[in-house]
Amino acid sequence: MAKPKISKKVSTALINSLGAGVVPRIGVEHIAVGREKELQSLSQNLNDIAEGVAAFRFIIGNYGSGKSFMLQMIRNRAMEQGFVVADTDLSSERRLAGTNNEGLATYRELMSRLATKTRPDGGALVSILEGWINKIQQEIAQETGMRPNDEGFDDKVETKIREVVQYIEDLVHGFDFGSIIIAYWRGYRLDNDDLKNAAMRWLRGEFNTKTEAKAALGVRVIIDDESWYDYIKLWAKFVAEIGYKGLLVLVDEAVNLYQISTTVSREKNYNRLLTMFNDTMQCKAEHLGIVIGGTTKFLEDPNRGLYADQAWRRRTKESRFVAQANVQEYMGPVIRLLPLNEEEILTLLQRLTEIHALNFGYEKTLKNPHLQEFVKEIINRLGAEALLTPGEIIRDFMSLLNILHQNPKLVFSELIHGSNFKPTAVGEDAKIDEDDVAEFSL
């Protein structure tokens, strides 16, 4: 196997993240194994979004099957292709709807995590707006030969800004959204930080009252728990008009909606999700992609999952022909992640071994027979090959690599066959209900 070409920064990030049981934000392409068809399907969605339509996908799998990994893969791919991306994890404080602004909290988190190719770590809102303004200024300078300080230059820039704003004014709340964009431009033009900051606060959903917004910006509306999704659609249309390919929204840990104890609140969230699903599937939104990561119970539980609602069951249930042909369907609204097979797990472990050796500058000592021995030991101790998911063995394997590197006198076989070796999945956490444990997803 050829040594991977990975920078020290990326290899360190991979080792630290995987060793801590979380999905890395960078470098995931170096450990992508066995999900080619799923990624190909999601990549086709990106192509469609860039053409102006919308897409909605569920990524469904048990704990450790790779949901968060898939979301991170498509996030990085989308940024590389020129999309604006926003991602968040749902929680008890961040939902799609609620009585204490839980939906607005989700919007605020998405806005804080807006990311682009040049700002992959989030916080890209200011750079998106100012990059667009700078681009318009350059176009005006090239077209007219004028300079930014020349009389009439700013008026021409504002004219072009208003041309873009007009494209979104026909959407719900589009006029108010456009007014704030103009307000930001005026703050930029006049070097008025107060006006710019007020516009940014409004766009991020940080005004608590309409009175406060009117005093600062002259608008009579604010982004709230009922309207936040309308502004997601506006953002998608807007970023496409200013040169990006569209907006991709990634929402993980949807199991938190399933865990809402009160039926009314849970159904309210499911209904908001249904609105988002219908809008995208019926192309009522443009240049917008939404990908939701959730567990099998979140989708299929007939009492508390989406399947409890006939509308959701009709939209997401597998076709009878899928079961009849015993195949996976990758083009429907639901992508189901099956466990990796033994060969794919071995390939993954090979890559991790290479990355670990590269990062710490040693010649790898674990060969394929060692890796096969490790996988078989995991299978034997877990009791079933069906449990062979990345999340159940990655932390154990990374820990094993660290221990062997730090203690070269230790013998690999004695270490993994020792009576004290317990795979994570059969430790004390296995006694806890799967809905209550923290997810490690690769």
Q: What are 129-154's pLDDT values in tens digits? A: 999 999 999 999 999 999 988 999 99
The neighbouring-strand residues paired with 222 are none
Output the average pLDDT for the chain: 89
Q: What average pLDDT does range 201-206 have in this prediction? A: 98
For 302, phi then psi, to 5°, come to -75, -10
Place of tokens 């399933």: 258
Read off the tokens for 22.
Answer: 């979380």
Helix (H) or strand (E) holding 311: helix 310-316
**77 — pLDDT class (breaks 50, 70, 90):** very high
User: Can you tell me the mean pLDDT for 219-235?
Assistant: 97
Residue type, 169: E
Closest C-alpha to 423, from 439, 399, 407: 399
- Does residue 326 carry a pLDDT above 90? no
DSSP 93: S
Q: Mean per-residue pLDDT for 240-248?
A: 97
Q: Which residue has the tokens 């806005």?
A: 111
Distance CA 308, CA 263 (A): 11
Token pair, residue 417, equals: 């066959």
pLDDT at 416: 86
Q: How confident is the model at residue 396 (pLDDT cuts 50, 70, 90)?
A: confident
Chain region(s) in the chain for CATH 3.40.50: 35-99+244-336
Q: Helix 368-382 vs helix 342-360: angle between axes, to the nearest 10 degrees?
A: 120
Structure tokens at 123: 């916080």
Neighbouring residues of 73: CB distance < 8 A, sequence distance ≥ 6 = 28, 29, 32, 35, 39
Instruction: Please list, residue by residue across 343-382, b when 16 or more beta carbons sit within 10 angstroms of its beta carbon and e when fewer do.
Output: eebbbbbbbbbbbbbbbeeeebebeeebbeebbebbbeeb
pTM (2 decimals)? 0.89
CATH topology classification for 35-99+244-336: Rossmann fold (3.40.50)
pLDDT, greater one: 319 or 158: 158
Q: Going by C-beta distance under 8 Å and a sequence separation of 6 or more, which residues neighbour residue 262?
A: none
Q: In this model, does residue 439 exceed pLDDT 60? A: no
